[in-house]
Structure formats: C-alpha cells, structure tokens
Chain A
C-alpha cells in the first residue's frame, strides 16, 4: 500500500524532481536568469521534446513557475519550493544533534566521576 502511493506521487515530489541530472542543470540555469523553453533547450544536446518533458515535471512540482510574456512563455525558479528541499534534512539533523549532545553530557559526567 505504502509503496503504491509512493509511486503515484513520484512526479509531484520535489525530491524526485531533482533526482535527475538534466533537471538539476535546468534549475541551475534558470536560477541565474528567467528563460524561455527554447533558450533552456539550446544549452543541452538532448532532444527538445525531452527538455520539454523535464520542464513539465519541474513545473508540476512547482520548482519552476511559468510566466506568459507576449507570445513567449518564460520559466522562473520558485525559491519557496527550493527552500522546502533545504528544510528537508532539518528534523534528521535535529535527531542526531540531540543524540550527540546527550553523548557529550554522558561522557563529561563520566570524566568528572573518574577524576
């Protein structure tokens, strides 16, 4: 059951979105400037439809935001969604930090008792 829902959510998950090297490269490109799909595709040897597919996934995951300007669609990076990735490891880090703080306390008490 759990693995099923995991598969179904694949495309909506920001972490799946950044698991692909081409998609990470696209994010790096768009981070420096707002770009059209054509301008993004011209940076890769990959076929244009493949790049379109990557852009679609990044947009569905809300890492990229589309903006219509006249006849062109421009892609923007969504910093809020990127922050979600940065925040991701925080609870895990907190868990280890609590554990190591405890380790330090336990050993300091041991040192005190030993002397």
Chain B
C-alpha cells in the first residue's frame, strides 16, 4: 500500500521534513491541531490513549501531553511551548519527548490551502544534532517491537 505521507531526511543533516496532503479544507486541518479533544483522538492508537494535560493554543502558551496503555501505564510523555500561532497558516513550537534522550526539537508546522477542499501539511523538525535525529528515526522499530510484546501479553493474559 502506498503511503500518502512523505518524509525527507537527507543524509548527514540534523533536520527532517514530513509532508502530507489531506482531503480536507485547511481550516479543518488547522482545527485538528488546536482542539485538545481532536488531538487526543488522532494521537491515540489501539495500544495507547493520548491525553492533553495542558494546551494553551497561543504565542507563549505551552502544552503537555501523555499517552497511557490499557493498564494505565504512561508510555509517552511530551511537552513544549508555542512560539508562533497563526490560524490556518503556521504553528512554531518546541517539542520534547520526556525520558527519551532526544533533546528538544524545533517544529515548524505549516498549513497550506490547495483547493477549497484539500490542503497540505508540512512539518519541519530540527534536532540538536544529526545523531539525535537518526536516533529518533530508529525509534519506531523499538516501539513496534514493544507494541507487539504488549499485544502478546494482552492475548496471553486472556488465556490465563
């Protein structure tokens, strides 16, 4: 299956760009990034439920979020500050995943109107170093493994 999301991570650089076109008007796409209840919905997956602990959608505002697995164990915790908040155009924020040793990233998220019903999202992520960026790129391998383990545990738990 073809993935709609494109990632551009050039060799030896300390940044990466994630792009995706949506079959949605730009206003709605922006809304998905500014309303905590909506963010919680799309950031959740079958193995972890996302919760926004704090979300001040404005310049100088900050946010805090966490995800818990079905046993209530916190599996992901992140925070950051908004530096720019231009409705339907751009969000500039810092992002720090807690206890991940990936440092703090600068995220420049741009919202672009393509047609009345389609839009494009571009997230430019800048890391403290190329090494940290590459470590981040390797993480889904580890997470995928851990998810598989969780699921196995879940299934085995039912058999007990």
* A interface residue numbers (CB < 8 A to B): 15, 18-21, 24, 85, 88-89, 91-104, 106-108, 110-111
B20: chain A residues at CB < 8 Å are 96-97, 100
Shortest C-beta distance, B132 to chain A (Å), equals: 11
**Chain A-chain B contacts (Cβ-Cβ < 8 Å), number:** 78
| Contacts A/B (CB < 8 Å), 11 sampled | A89-B137, A91-B140, A91-B141, A92-B137, A94-B140, A95-B143, A104-B22, A104-B23, A104-B24, A108-B24, A111-B24
Q: Which residues of A contact B84 (CB under 8 A)?
A: none
Interface size class of B (residues with CB under 8 A): 20 to 34
Whether B5 and A96, one on each chain, are in contact in the complex, defined by CB atoms closer than 8 angstroms, is yes
For the complex, give the distance between the alpha carbons of A102 and B44 in Å.
9
Contact B22 A93 (CB under 8 A): no
Q: Using known A-B contacts A91-B141, A93-B3, A110-B38, determine if residue A19 contacts B130 with beta carbons closer than 8 Å.
A: yes
Query: What would 4 more interface pairs be, CB under 8 Å, given A96-B18, A106-B32?
Result: A19-B11, A97-B20, A100-B20, A111-B24
Residues of chain A within 8 A of B9, CB atoms compared: 89
Q: How far is the CB of A101 from chain B (nearest CB, A)?
A: 8
Nearest Cβ in chain A — how far from B146, in angstroms?
Answer: 13
Query: Given that A104-B22, A107-B24 are contacting pairs, would A89 and B11 also be in contact in the complex, using a CB cutoff of 8 Å?
Result: no
A114 closest partner in B (C-beta) = B28
List chain A residues, Cβ under 8 A from B12.
18-21, 24
Residues of chain B within 8 A of A91, CB atoms compared? 140-141, 144
Cα of A103 to Cα of B5 in the assembled complex, Å: 13
Closest B residue to A108 using CB positions: B24
Q: Do the beta carbons of A92 and B130 come within 8 Å of each other? A: no
